[in-house]
Amino acid sequence: MTPLISMAAEQKSAEVTDWAARIGWLVGLALFVALVYWLMREGWKWRGTLQGDLPELPTRPSAGTLDGGGEPQAPGVPEHPGPARLSMSGRYHGSTTAGQWLDRIVAHGLGTRSRVELTLTDEGLDVVRPGATDFFVPAAALREARLDKGIAGKVLTEGGLLVVTWAHGERLIDSGFRSDRSAEHGDWVDAINSMINKTETEGAR
C-alpha cells in the first residue's frame, strides 16, 4: 500500500504545482496586458503632443455663434450653414495625415472613433459626433473625396469608406467615414468633388 500512497501524494503535489503555475501565468499575462495598454496610452499622449501645432477645429455654425452661446466663428466659417445637399448617419473611423493612412491624428479629439451625422451644404461639411468633438469643414478647405478601404489602422471592404481630404492650418487631413448605407458613398464623392471643382473655378476668375 505504501507505493500507492506515495503515488497518490505525488499526483496531488503535481496538481497543486500545476495550479500555482497557472495562477502565475495568468498574473504574468495580466501584467503584460496592463503594460501594453499603458504603452498605447502613453503613445497616444505623445502623438497628441507632437500634433500640438494643429489649430483648434472650426466649430459647426449652429453651435459656434454667439447667439447660440458659443464662441465667435473662426475665419472662413459661415455664420449659417445653409440648406442640406446631402446628409447621412454612420461612423467616423478617424483622421490621418493626407495620403498616409497609418499616420493617425489624435489632437483635438480627431483620433476618437464615434458615431457621426454628416451634413453637406454649399458652405461646407458639418461633422456632428455624439460623445466626441464636432467640427466643420468650410467648402474652401475641401480638397478631395474618394472611396477607400482603410484609414487610421481600420480596414474595411474595398470602397467601404468615404475619405474626405481637407486643409486645416498647415496640414492636409484625410478623414474617414462609413455610412449606415454604404451604397450612398458614391453620391457623396460626386457631390463633394463637384463643390471643390466649382470653388476652384470661381476662385480662378
User: Which residues, in sequence order, are bridge partners of residue 150?
Assistant: 155
| Same-domain status, 99 and 158 | yes
Confidence (pLDDT) at 26? 79
| Same-domain status, 87 and 119 | yes
| Same-domain status, 40 and 98 | no
| Same-domain status, 107 and 26 | no
Are 157 and 147 in contact, with CB atoms under 8 Å apart? no
| Same-domain status, 22 and 89 | no
Any idea which of 10-24, 69-83, 161-175, 179-193 has the lowest mean pLDDT? 69-83
> Per-residue confidence at 66, pLDDT binned at 50, 70, 90?
very low
pLDDT digits (tens, 9 = 90+) for 84-143: 999 999 999 999 999 998 889 998 899 999 999 999 999 999 999 999 999 999 999 999
SS3 202: helix
Are 73 and 79 in contact, with CB atoms under 8 Å apart? yes
Number of structural domains found in the chain: 2
| Same-domain status, 71 and 169 | yes
| Same-domain status, 6 and 42 | yes
Q: Grid coordinates representing 140?
A: 474652401
Are 106 and 51 in contact, with CB atoms under 8 Å apart? yes
Confidence (pLDDT) at 28? 76
- Asked whether residue 70 is assigned to any structural domain, the reply reads yes
Of all residues in the chain, what percent carry a pLDDT higher than 70? 68
pLDDT digits (tens, 9 = 90+) for 187-200: 999 999 999 987 77
Q: Is the pLDDT of residue 43 over 80?
A: no
Torsion angle in degrees (nearest 10) through CA of 186, 192, 193, 194: 100
Confidence (pLDDT) at 12? 53
Confidence (pLDDT) at 17? 56
Pairwise CA distance, residues 178 & 102, whole Å: 17
- Alpha helix (H) residue ranges in 101-184: none
Could you tell me the CATH number of the domain that includes residue 177?
Answer: 2.30.29.30
| Domain span at 21 | 1-50
